[in-house]
Structure 1
Amino acid sequence: MTRNRINSRRILLLGGVALVSLSALPAAAQTAPGSTTPPPSTQDPTVPATGATGAAPAADDQSGFSNDIVVTAQRREEKLSRVPLSVQAFSGEQLTTKVIVSEQDVGQLVPGLLVKNGQTSNQLSFSMRGQTLDPFSGTSAAVLTYFNEAPYSPYNTSTVFFDLGSVQVLKGPQGTLFGRNATGGAVLYTSPTPGNDFSGNILVRGGQRNNIQVQGAVDLPLVKDVLLVRIAGDLTKQDGYIRNRYTGNTLGDKDSKAGRITILLKPTEKFRNTLLVQYSDFRGTEGSGNLWTYYTTPNAAGQQFINNGVTSVRNTNGTPLTSTLDTVYNVYSGVLFNRSGNNLGDSNLTPGPAYGPGRFPGGVAGYAAFSRANPYDIYLQFDLPHRAHSTFIANTTEFDVSDGLTIKNIFSFMDSYTRLPGNLAGGPFGALWLYNDPNNATGVSGNGGPGGQTFKAKTYSEELQLQGKLFDDKLSYTLGGFYTSFKHFDIIPVHVGAEINPTAGAAPAFGLPADIDYTYNAKDISKAVYAQIDYKLTDKLKVTLGGRYTWESVSLTQAPGSIFSVTGVQPVGKLQHRDLSAPSWTFNLQYQIDPENMIYFAQRGSFRSGNFNGTVLPLNDANFFGNEFAHDFEVGYKFSGRIGSVPFRFNIAAYDEIVKKAQHAVYAVVGGNPAGFTLNVPEAVTKGVEVDTSISLLPWLDITATGAYTDAKYTKGVVNVARLTGVAGSTILFDSYPDTPKWSGSLGVDLTLPFPESVGKVVLHGEVYGQTHTFFSSNEGSVTPGTRLEGYSNVNLRLSWNDIGGSKFSAGVYMKNVFDRLYYVSGYALGAAGGYNTAYPGEPRTIAGEVSFKF
């Protein structure tokens, strides 16, 4: 092996090898295009036409309860109380009342649903029922997002919420109708259908941190009942709540613009076509997590400690910990220098700037203590500008062949671009910057700091669907075929020790700084056929059977500049390819005891496709991981009616989900250095209970309550990694289930204040959300300790004055995190790669107001 090859291998290992399969962090979806009401042949006969797909109040049914919600969890409109699945749904009005203005806020809508940051504030993913998305894994999201029934992923950028019709959260494996890769659930977004009258609305928000948001929508009936248009837009700006003390600027700033046009064509009663085109442009800056814990270098007795800035606890789990951050910026700080000639680490060693690059009073320990004392402050040498844009097109065509058959076609296209800088060490130490120096030896993105990753993606999807009824409407069916093509090109620069002088002191012996690129082209083509039938065995008993079979074709090739090509491990353009396939299924039994009470049993299965991790050494396909399989058992009870004269809704579900070959990222020690892989963990089991209830105790008092108990464990968590490490008997233990609080819940109260009707309706809304602790790694008891985030609770308030003085104006003021509680929403586990972990704090107390006008 040549010296160049040896040095390259060292560079790969120092960089964590697997850093960073960030392409696996699709952002959450936003609002959805308009969708027409299904025809009578495919619509639940107890559900009135609403004019828009998604959550909406239903008219009085047999129970007399007027607040049952209409959902599309089974690809047709049904009342929530009649759907034999665990679903929570919220209308656009409810989202406004609950102050849901971002993806992060959605997590507090649904206990058990966690919205977590990736490396920065713009990389978001959903976790539910123990099913999560690991950083560095290259896996698909376990909880998928849909934009009016079309798959929607802007790919590594957050989005904006505007003109939102509803949010629906489907829990558990989605076996048939939303079956592709959805082992944890699905989040469905919808937007209103263009109206038949000229009308619209405009909303202006303003508040702390220079917040300004302007949203609006207008319906234009160009030809009444035939050609209807809706135009909507959003402008959002706000400073972030993380302050970069090095530059004096804020991080996590929002600066976005988005516009959407929806065109509904109905030339006949039997034919409807909806075309949606949306363009979004995102600017601002990336928020960044701060140093949470780090691992010390072994002392003379071989002891290591986990330092969190407040305490230093000895590691007693028997697993040697990676200590790169402490070793470089503490132990060897006397023989390593930055490019200005000052010692690294503790800035008290030599004269010079006290703070960065690579220096801080007290070194790594000093900065860890600073991070805990100043959770919203960070020292970074550069700010982190965020740049992204996306174009989304969706076309939905529906044709009523007869009263009993409708043909539906859904086509979508998304083209997205994201540029995403970051410092994954979360502080002044350049342990891992995401940029390349200009004209560096291996990289192709040599823009210097802060640089950034580049993600370019194009996604096409096509779905043909038949819906209908037979046998005097006793049998309802949905048949379909699905195709999607997802192609992306990623450049992930990794710069380890960026501030280190490569020719001074001991730097040459460490092979630092290490300045490389992971760059590759990836392609995933999925094809599926599916069928689902509902059959009424009696007037009260209904059975549902569904099946889906999916064929996946995944491939990856190294692109010019890739470290793997530069070192000769894998030539540019050499194809890695696998064909994969698996079934998914659904079985439900529901018994409608009476118009108000329903019980059900559901059993479903789904899978997540295997793939290649583009940031893992591809030698002998070591970067490939196999399919993940999930199946569950769920029983539930739903009540929707009245207790006496009081409207009351109550839903409860208990489930048991078993996951085989669970896809997770992990690090192993290879030749004394950390290397990353995506593994299939043999088995995990999640058991839980979820409750959702609401009651109108008095005409002026409404109460809602939700809760979730989630017990997630690795039941077979030992993975043999001898093939990957070359060490016989080498194993990794998975023992902490990430991103899964055991208890979570919320309590909301709406109080209508006693003002005359002529004044308008004044409502005070209060809501408290709480959850117990979580971990942000799967290996708390082995290679990545110190990744526990404590539980928290916070309170939101909103005072609304609707239809002021009988006018079309409304106003409101709201406060989020009323008691200004410090809490952490997510973490980034790099302990086994670089000897440190970072964590991202939640939003501090924020006050804002809004004014809206409908016309």
Structure 2
Amino acid sequence: MRTHSGALRGLLAASATVIALSGARPALAQEDPAPAQTAQDDGYGLGEIVVTAQKRESSLQDTPVAISAFSGADIAERGITNMSNLQSYVPNLNVGSEQDGVKISLRGIGLQGTTSISDSGVAFYVDNFYVGRPSGGNATFFDIDRIEVLRGPQGTLYGRNATGGVVNVISKAPAQDIEGEVGASYGSREHVELRGMLNLPIAPDVAALRVSAVWSREDGYVKNISTVPGTSDGYGSDGDIALRGQLLLGRPDVIEVLLFGSYLKQNGTGIPMKFLERNIGGPPPTQALLATIPPENPDPLIINNNAPASNDVENKTVFAKATKDFGGVEAVLQIGKMWQTSDLYQDFDGSPVDVSRFRKYEDGDASSAEFRLASTGGGPFSWIVGAYYYKDSTYILRNVKLNGLTPGGMISLPDFILDETGASRTIAGFGSATYAILPEFRVTAGARYTDDRKSGTKVTRGNFGQPFPPDIPNAQFTGIANFDKFNWKLGLEWDAAPDVLVYSSVSTGYKAGGFNISSDASPYGPENITAYEFGIKSDFWDRRARVNLDSFYYDYKDMQLTTLGTFGPSNAPGQFTVNAGKSRIYGIELDTQFKVTRELLLTASYAFTDAKFSALVNRDPRTNILRDLSGNVVPYVSKHTINLGGQYEANLGSSGSITFAANYNWHSKKYLREFNDPVIDLVPSNGRTDVTVTYKVADTGLRITAFVTDLENDVEKTNIYISPGFIGLSAVTSYTKPRTWGIRADFSF
């Protein structure tokens, strides 16, 4: 078995090889630097993306972090319409869902439960506003300036539970130009989308307004063959709407204020449940009724659910951001609030037999405030300091309806009702400083102190008896948990040559613990990570080629793992979180781009990731057997991932241009749970191809795009959900979208 030190030596050797190769190439540019500027001026060189990954603007290639960034043009040309599409372009990004929530992981870290105090290990931001529970986080991307995906712990600058990384979706800001855009799309499964944006300067150099809106609907890709009145033929949308408004006032040298408001309403027609197995359980009458369920349809995208279903999400967000330049120091204050509700109703047994129905209603609000000061002047020393406050409160109602079969016929059992109210509060202070020991050599030190508090109350009514706890009307408990942590980061940067940045860092990350609020209140501890990163970012051949490499090693302690079942000290039903004793994750991510000609761009990336549990003992809820899982693969991690892409623009002269783009993404096998069951948890190796063709009509602002995603039409499982013991502990899954085609037209003015 390969040792950890051997793995590290392998990573360092591979990194050093790439550094040597890339470091030699820029010598060509040193001899005659002028062509590099010319290449960029004539559009031949690779473009530059400005990011705010370190809470200040910098070029993507000058940012010493493993980061993938996509401009608004990239998003449109590659057909990246939402978070699910994005995972085909970012190494080690996985986007799934459970009930009404979006679940994001990076390098195997980040998936969360769906209780009122659950947290993700990947921090999700919309315009730098933290979204703790991203229901509706898979909304359509429109009028986006860029998307930034930071891999690895970002504890010192972002802090709140960012052990796995950060995803930041950044809208286009108001500008001092009159511009607008309208668009429409039509595609598979009667998909229809309407879009619009308008930017208006209100007062020259003082005020500007930008508003955008998207409306969309789709029949859904999972077909329901039930003929029961009130059921849907598919699981899609009855009409989603997203509105965003921004008002920019003032100037940074005096004071600049951005007022932001957004509204999202998703009218989903339900969440399909595809059972991979049928383990009968629950009260005896329910078991008798479950035994009458016919075999599952072998087609993964066909179900027979006999109950009406819906999944409605409403999100309202407002914030104000004030920026003031004091001459060498910039001050930023951002204060905001978010209100979010979701209402999910579904057939809980996923069959044509009326055994069980489930409703989950969630109502929450969150407030946050961040203040920071950052140096803006020149010189060898730069710094940033700040303070952060976050608070959220969430109420969740879960209601399970059960029917049963007796010798006298069908009966209805008393409802199972679980009321849950949880709250989280975070206070943090952070700082980071960079000093240039030499013009080409810099050292960075960062620190953050975080104080977390979680509290909650559970009230359970209507337990059914065995295999659940005895019937106790209004059984309840209240829990409180407090945690605090000091995190740090040390980093080195070296400009090895023009357009070659070498960087390394050691950093720590932390995610607060809590207690099992939906089950038996048993506590679980915080998770901690120490991450070692070593990478290189290089441009060469007059910036017509780019090679970026990042190698990493994670020492992970007490990783939080959540599953659903009826186990634990009190055998209470609900979600149950435990801490894995120790895990180790290491790998290499290589990303390349080549501007072969002015018209042709080629991209290729490869990621190798080895992620395993060093010490973990956990109980599989499907069998209730305690198992030693040491050596098992961390969920949602493929050892090998390859991405190949190409884009060619054909100039048609006075008629405009046509751009052809294709992307192929392949991953090796992965598992969806820590138990690594070869039947239930395994996702075999798979690849998918996305293609877009865009025609730009010259001098008109009109663009027409035809697209196909998943050309192979090969779906795969995205997550595993264990149905609760009311109807037997069975594995349930959902699947990726099959082949999808469409055409969109956009007109800019």
Q: Determine the structure 2 residue equivalent to 1:127.
A: 105
Shift of 1:164: 1.2
**Partners in 1 of 2:316 and 2:38 — Cα distance?**
34
Q: Determine the structure 1 residue equivalent to 2:315.
A: 390
What one-letter code is carried by the residue in structure 1 that aligns with 2:202?
L
Q: Is the 8 A contact 1:242 1:287 kept in 2?
A: no
Shift of 1:156: 3.0
Q: Is the 8 A contact 1:417 1:455 kept in 2?
A: yes
Q: Is structure 2 residue 421 aligned with structure 1 residue 528? A: no
What one-letter code is carried by the residue in structure 2 that aligns with 1:417?
T
Q: Determine the structure 1 residue equivalent to 2:256.
A: 272
Classify 1:167/1:336 alpha carbon distance in 2 versus 1 (closer, same or farther; 3 Å). closer
Alignment of 1:154-553 (within 5 A): 155-158=134-137, 159-247=139-227, 249-253=233-237, 255-266=239-250, 269-294=253-278, 323-324=279-280, 338=289, 344-346=290-292, 359-360=293-294, 366-367=295-296, 370=297, 373-402=298-327, 404-428=328-352, 433-434=357-358, 452-469=359-376, 473-495=379-401, 498-501=402-405, 504=408, 513=413, 515-553=415-453
Shift of 1:260: 1.1
Classify 1:425/1:104 alpha carbon distance in 2 versus 1 (closer, same or farther; 3 Å). farther
Classify 1:100/1:227 alpha carbon distance in 2 versus 1 (closer, same or farther; 3 Å). same
Alignment of 1:6-155 (within 5 A): 65-119=45-99, 122-135=100-113, 139-153=118-132, 155=134
Match for 1:765 among 647, 651, 661? 661
Q: Deviations over 1:27-75 (max 9, x none)?
A: xxxxxxxxxxxxxxxxxxxxxxxxxxxxxx99959x9955132111101
Shift of 1:832: 8.8
Q: Is the 8 A contact 2:248 2:258 kept in 1?
A: yes
Q: Secondary structure at the match of 1:422?
A: strand
Alignment of 1:683-832 (within 5 A): 683-718=582-617, 733=629, 735-753=632-650, 755-780=651-676, 786-802=680-696, 804-830=697-723
Shift of 1:605: 0.7
**Partners in 1 of 2:568 and 2:577 — Cα distance?**
15
Q: Determine the structure 1 residue equivalent to 2:551.
A: 654
What one-letter code is carried by the residue in structure 1 that aligns with 2:106?
M
Structure 2 runs not aligned, ≥5 long? 1-36
Q: Deviations over 1:731-775 (max 9, x none)?
A: 66463421112222211110122x432111211111111112221
Shift of 1:255: 1.9
**Partners in 2 of 1:543 and 1:194 — Cα distance?**
36
Q: Secondary structure at the match of 1:806?
A: coil
Shift of 1:794: 1.0
TM-score by length of 2: 0.87
What one-letter code is carried by the residue in structure 1 that aligns with 2:701?
K
Classify 1:107/1:58 alpha carbon distance in 2 versus 1 (closer, same or farther; 3 Å). farther
Moved more, 86-95 or 132-141: 132-141
Q: Secondary structure at the match of 1:209?
A: helix
Q: Is the 8 A contact 1:169 1:188 kept in 2?
A: yes
Q: Which has the higher strand share?
A: 2
**Partners in 2 of 1:739 and 1:71 — Cα distance?**
27
**Partners in 1 of 2:149 and 2:462 — Cα distance?**
39
**Partners in 2 of 1:575 and 1:684 — Cα distance?**
32
**Partners in 1 of 2:352 and 2:635 — Cα distance?**
27
Shift of 1:648: 0.7
Q: Is the 8 A contact 1:706 1:747 kept in 2?
A: yes
**Partners in 2 of 1:513 and 1:733 — Cα distance?**
38
Classify 1:293/1:559 alpha carbon distance in 2 versus 1 (closer, same or farther; 3 Å). closer
Q: Is the 8 A contact 1:280 1:391 kept in 2?
A: yes
**Partners in 2 of 1:110 and 1:272 — Cα distance?**
34
**Partners in 2 of 1:490 and 1:565 — Cα distance?**
21
Shift of 1:153: 4.3
Q: Is the 8 A contact 1:750 1:763 kept in 2?
A: yes
What one-letter code is carried by the residue in structure 1 that aligns with 2:383?
Y
Q: Determine the structure 1 residue equivalent to 2:30.
A: none
What one-letter code is carried by the residue in structure 2 that aligns with 1:94?
D
Q: Secondary structure at the match of 2:85?
A: helix
Moved more, 818-827 or 522-531: 818-827
Shift of 1:514: 6.5
**Partners in 2 of 1:208 and 1:251 — Cα distance?**
14
Q: Secondary structure at the match of 1:381?
A: coil
What one-letter code is carried by the residue in structure 2 that aligns with 1:282?
Q
Shift of 1:277: 0.7
Shift of 1:428: 3.8
Q: Is the 8 A contact 2:520 2:569 kept in 1?
A: no
Classify 1:211/1:540 alpha carbon distance in 2 versus 1 (closer, same or farther; 3 Å). same
**Partners in 2 of 1:822 and 1:267 — Cα distance?**
50
Shift of 1:785: 6.4
**Partners in 1 of 2:200 and 2:162 — Cα distance?**
37
Q: Deviations over 1:65-94 (max 9, x none)?
A: 551321111011111111111000001111
**Partners in 2 of 1:562 and 1:484 — Cα distance?**
35
**Partners in 2 of 1:193 and 1:261 — Cα distance?**
10
Shift of 1:114: 0.5
Q: Is the 8 A contact 2:511 2:527 kept in 1?
A: yes
Q: Deviations over 1:129-178 (max 9, x none)?
A: 12131446753101111112120246433433221111110001112111
Alignment of 1:546-561 (within 5 A): 546-559=446-459, 561=461
Alignment of 1:637-676 (within 5 A): 637-642=536-541, 647-666=544-563
Moved more, 576-585 or 663-672: 663-672
Q: Deviations over 1:414-454 (max 9, x none)?
A: 001100123454434667631xxxxxxxxxxxxxxxxx211
**Partners in 2 of 1:233 and 1:58 — Cα distance?**
39
Q: Secondary structure at the match of 2:75?
A: helix
TM-score by length of 1: 0.76
Structure 1 runs not aligned, ≥5 long? 1-56, 295-322, 339-343, 347-358, 361-365, 435-451
**Partners in 2 of 1:502 and 1:82 — Cα distance?**
70
Shift of 1:706: 2.0
Shift of 1:229: 0.5
- Aligned length, in residue pairs: 696
Q: Determine the structure 1 residue equivalent to 2:17.
A: none
What one-letter code is carried by the residue in structure 2 that aligns with 1:131?
I
**Partners in 2 of 1:791 and 1:160 — Cα distance?**
28
Q: Secondary structure at the match of 2:673?
A: coil
**Partners in 2 of 1:674 and 1:484 — Cα distance?**
31
Shift of 1:520: 1.5
Q: Secondary structure at the match of 1:286?
A: coil
Q: Is the 8 A contact 2:252 2:323 kept in 1?
A: no
Identity of counterpart residues, as a percentage?
21
**Partners in 1 of 2:626 and 2:741 — Cα distance?**
53
What one-letter code is carried by the residue in structure 1 that aligns with 2:537?
K
What one-letter code is carried by the residue in structure 2 that aligns with 1:381?
N
Q: Determine the structure 2 residue equivalent to 1:629.
A: 528
Shift of 1:614: 2.2
What one-letter code is carried by the residue in structure 2 that aligns with 1:763?
T
**Partners in 1 of 2:238 and 2:447 — Cα distance?**
43
